Amino acid sequence: MRVDDYHGFKICDPYAWLEDPDSEETKAFVEEQNKLTMPYLEQCAVQPQFHQRLTELYDYPKYSCPYKRGDRYFYFHNQGLQNQDVLYVQDSLNGPATVFFDPNTLSDDGTVALKLGRLSEECEYFAYGLSTSGSDWVTVHFLKADDLTSLPDLLERVKFSCLSWTHDAKGVFYNCYPRQDGKADGTETTSNMNQKLYYHVIGTSQSEDILVAEFPDHPKWHSAVTVSDDGRYAVLSITEGCEPVNQLWYCDLQQLTDGITGLLPWVKLVDNFEAQYSYITNEGSVFTFRSNLDAPRYRLINVDLQKPDSQYWTTLIPQHDKDVLGFVSCVNQHHLLVNYVHDVKDILQVYELSTGKLVRDLPLDVGTVAGVSCKKKHSDFFYKFTSFTTPGIIYYCDLSEASPEPTVFRQVEVKGINQDDYHTSQVFYPSKDGTKIPMFLVHAKGLKMDGTNPVFLYGYGGFENSIQPYYNVAYLLFVRHLGGILAVANIRGGGEYGLTWHKAGTLGNKQTCFDDFQCAAEYLIQEKYTTASRIAINGASNGGLLVAACVNQRPDLFGCAVAEVGVMDMLKFHKFTIGHAWTTDYGCADDPKQFQWLKKYSPLHNVPPAPYTGPPYPAVLLLTADHDDRVVPLHTLKYCASLQRGPGGSPAQRQPLMVRVDTRSGHGAGKPTAKAILEDAHIFSFVAETLGLGWKE
C-alpha cells in the first residue's frame, strides 16, 4: 500500500492506483461500478416519468441577448432539445435570421461544443474554439463572416485562453501551452504549466505565430489580453491562481512602427498581486477599471497612463455601503451599465462615464441579470432577466432616443409550467458563529409546515462565485411532481457580499463553508420544513467537496447526498491538470501549516476506515466523467472506493453508496442537451428512490 510522508505525518493512500486513468485496473473498476449503478438508476421507480417529463418541459426555445457587430446582429438560439445552441445572424432586429454557425453538425451525439467565439471588430472574421467530449482543451478555427468560407488557419494546444482581435482584423491574441509528453485529449492528468501568449496573423500557420508574452520564472501565471475599445491598447491581465487579484500591463499598439513582430514592450501599470483591476473602457489615456483595491465590495477607479503613479488615481464610483458592484459595461460612448448585487439579487443602472453620476434605474424583477450585450460605440443594448421560475426575458433599450425606455424584446414561455404554482422566498438563517446566511426557498404555494417535506439543498461556497437565482426545469419538477422544496444556501466562500464574504470561507476558514451548509439543514428542520431523513444535498466541483465533507462530518443530518465532479483528495489536488490554481482558495499540502487545515476536512482522508460502527451514511451518488480535465475523475474514484470499504462495509448501512462515471463527457461546460437531461433524470430518480418519494401528477 502506498504511504506518503507529509511533514513527518504518514498518510496511507490505498487507492493511489486509481490515479492512472489508462490502467486496466482503473478501467475495470469503473466498468464494475457502472454495472452496479446504471441498472439501479434505470430501475428507480420515478425514472421513466421524470425523464419523459423533463424532456417535454426542456423542449422550449432558448435565446441569448443579440449582439451587434458591424451592421449585423448575432444571437444564440436552441429550438428546445438541440444538443448545442446554434449561432444566428440577421441584418436588422426585425429582419429574417439565418444560421451562421451550427455546432450540431460537427458530431452525431453533440459532444463537440463551441467553447469560444469572437467576431472581429467590423465583422470580417469569426474565430471559434471547439472542445470535444467536455475537455478544457480547445482547437481554434476561423471563417470569413460574409460568405462563411473556412480558412485553413488552425490553433492547437489552446486552454484557459483569451481570444482578442486587433481592430485591423489582421489577427488575434490567444494563449496556449507548450507540448507535453503523452496524450492531451482531456483524459490525461498532466499538470498545466507555462502558458504563453501569442499573436496569430490570419493566413499564416500556427508555427509562425508571434510570442508576445511569456513568464518563464512564473510557470503558474495565466494571462489574458483585452484590446481597448478604441483599438489602440493591448491590456494584459496576469493572474496566478483563482484569487481576485491581478497584475496589469499594457502596450500602446499605435507606437509599434512595424506592427506586432515579437515580445511586446509591455508597460507595467500594476506589478503586484494586491488587488484586482478589470478593464471597463478608456477615454484617451484615462482608463476606467473595476477594482477591489481598498474596496472589498468593489468600486470604479480612473487611472491616467500619463500620470500612472497610484497617488493620482481617482474614484469614479465609490464602494457601496452594502451592495457588491458586479459587472460594468460601457455603452453609447458616454454611459456605463452598472450592476449591483443586493442580498444576492441583481440591480441594473445607467451611470454617466464622465462623472460617475447615476442617470437611472432599469426595471428588473427579483432575480438575476443572466446576460448583457452592448458596445461603447453603439447606443443600444440588451439585457436578459432570469429567476428560479422565469426562463428568460430579454429587454432592449436605445439610449439615443429622447426618453429611452427598455421594452420586452423577447419573452419565453414554457408550456406545462405555470409560474403562479410556485412560491419563492428568501430567508436569513444563523450559522454557527451567528452570521446570518441568505437562502432561497422555492416550493408549492400553500406548503404544510409539518416537518415532512423533502428538500433538495444546493450549495457551492468558493472562488468568489455567487449563486444567484437561475432557471432549472429539473428543480421545478422536483417541487411540482415530487412534492419537494428547493433550497439554495448562499454560504461563505462565495462572492455574495464581496471579498470579505469570500475570504471568510477560504484557506484556514474553509470549515466555515461546511458549518454554514450544515446550519442550513438544521434551520430547515427546526423551522418545521423537513426532517433530516428527507434532506438531499447537492453540489458540483467545489460544491462536490462541500457535500462530501458535510456527509463525513454529519452523516446523521442528511438522507441523501449527490456530489458531482468533486475535489475529494485535498492533499494531492494541486498535482493534476489545473489544480495548482486552486491553492489560493484551499492552500497546499506542501506547506506544513496548510497541510493541517486540509487534513482535517479532506473528504478522502476523513472517510472512517473499516470496520465502521458509527451512524449509517446517507445514500450517496457520486458523479464524474472520463474527460473531466478540470477536476480529474481520480478524486471521485478514490473517494468512492474508501466510502464503499468503510461505511459501506457496516452491517447498518442500508442505503446505496454509488458512483456514475459518464463517457465522452467532462466537467460540465458544453454538455449536450441529451446527456444533461439524462443526468438530471438519474440524479432526481436516485433522490426520490432513496428518500422514498412517489410521483404526484
Q: Which helix (H) or strand (E) holds 675?
A: helix 673-691
Give SS3 for 472.
coil
Q: How far is CA 435 from the centre of its chain?
A: 26
Indicate which residues carry an active-site annotation.
541, 628, 667
Distance set, CA 233 to CA 123, 249, 250, 541, 600 (Å) = 20, 10, 7, 36, 48
CA distance 29 to 31: 5
Q: What is the DSSP letter of 493?
A: T
Q: Are strands 485-489 and 455-458 parallel, antiparallel or unpaired?
A: parallel
Which residue stretches of 107-148 are H helix? none
Tell me which residue of 275, 219, 220, 268 sits closest to 245, measured CA to CA. 275
Residue with cell 472562488: 463
CA distance 468 to 476: 16
Cα maximum dimension of the chain: 77
Q: Are 396 and 380 in contact (CB under 8 A)?
A: yes
Tell me which residue of 645, 621, 429 sits closest to 537, measured CA to CA. 621
Tell me which residue of 627, 622, 643, 632 sits closest to 574, measured CA to CA. 632
Taking each continuous run of H as one helix and of E as one strand, the counts in the chain are: 10, 39
Q: Are strands 150-158 and 138-144 parallel, antiparallel or unpaired?
A: antiparallel
Q: Which three cell numbers stand for residue 671?
A: 454538455
Beta bridge partners of 349: 338, 361
Buried/exposed code over 561-585 (b: 16+ C-beta within 10 A; e: otherwise)? bbbbbbbbbbbbbbbbbbbbbbbbb
Tell me which residue of 187, 190, 191 sits closest to 662, measured CA to CA. 187
Give SS3 for 454.
coil
Q: How many CB atoms lie within 10 A of CB 353?
A: 21
Beta bridge partners of 600: none
Q: Are 195 and 214 in contact (CB under 8 A)?
A: no
The amino acid present at 310, given as its one-letter code, is S
CA distance 82 to 672: 8
Beta bridge partners of 372: 383
The beta-strand segments (E) located in 490-630 are 535-540, 560-564, 619-625
